[in-house]
Amino acid sequence: MKQTIAEKVKVPADLQYEVVGNVVKIGEQERRFAHPRVKLQRKDDEISIMANGATKREKKMLYTFKAHIQNMIKGETNGFEVCLKICSSHFPMMVSVEGNSVVIKNYLGEKVPRRAKVIAGTEVKVEGAMVTVKGKDIEKVGQTAANIEKATKRTGFDRRRFQDGIYIVKRAKR
């Protein structure tokens, strides 16, 4: 049975935000939410998400939009952080940040350094055996951490036996 579903997301008073059509801008982050049957509106200190005559698909999209907006608010207020650990047993790895990439030297004794892309809007710090990725957008932070982890992956080798690499230790809290 089709019904009208409405959800509200409360925005803290200290955050600047605006809703124009299907584009939501909270602080520095801007995101477009496109669905023909799900509408967004600004009401006082909250964002209202409504779907008239909603089926299962519209309901799923409504709650997805709500989760994305909540992640944008959390990112602007607290930020997100992912920690990675550098594990090397035989060949010591040298990890450094150069511009918009992370350079991994001497991975398993390789002569050519490996590179991982750092997505704009994130900050990467290397401190000893820990790599920290910080940012306001949870998707960009997670993708940067995944790029770093993927750069040290070797196909055809058993990960239980060859444990060298950079691994995600602490994920971003939602």
Residue 97's CATH number: 3.90.930.12
Q: Where do runs of H (alpha helix) occur along the chain?
A: 56-77, 138-151
- Asked whether residue 1 carries a pLDDT value surpassing 70, the answer given is no
Q: Are residues 92 and 126 in the same domain?
A: yes
pLDDT in tens, 6-37: 999 999 999 999 999 899 999 999 999 999 98
Q: Are residues 98 and 163 in the same domain?
A: yes
Q: Are residues 109 and 58 in the same domain?
A: no
Q: Are residues 84 and 156 in the same domain?
A: yes
**Residue 80 confidence class, pLDDT cut points 50, 70, 90:** very high
Q: Are residues 56 and 89 in the same domain?
A: no
Q: Are residues 67 and 34 in the same domain?
A: yes
Q: Quote the pTM value.
A: 0.89
Predicted pLDDT at 26: 94
Query: What is the domain extent for residue 64?
Result: 3-77
Q: How many domains does the chain have?
A: 2
Q: Are residues 90 and 164 in the same domain?
A: yes
Per-residue DSSP letter, 172: P
List the beta strands (DSSP E) in the chain: 3-10, 17-20, 23-26, 29-32, 38-43, 46-54, 80-87, 94-98, 101-105, 114-117, 122-127, 130-135, 165-170
Of 77, 96, 116, at which residue does a domain stop?
A: 77
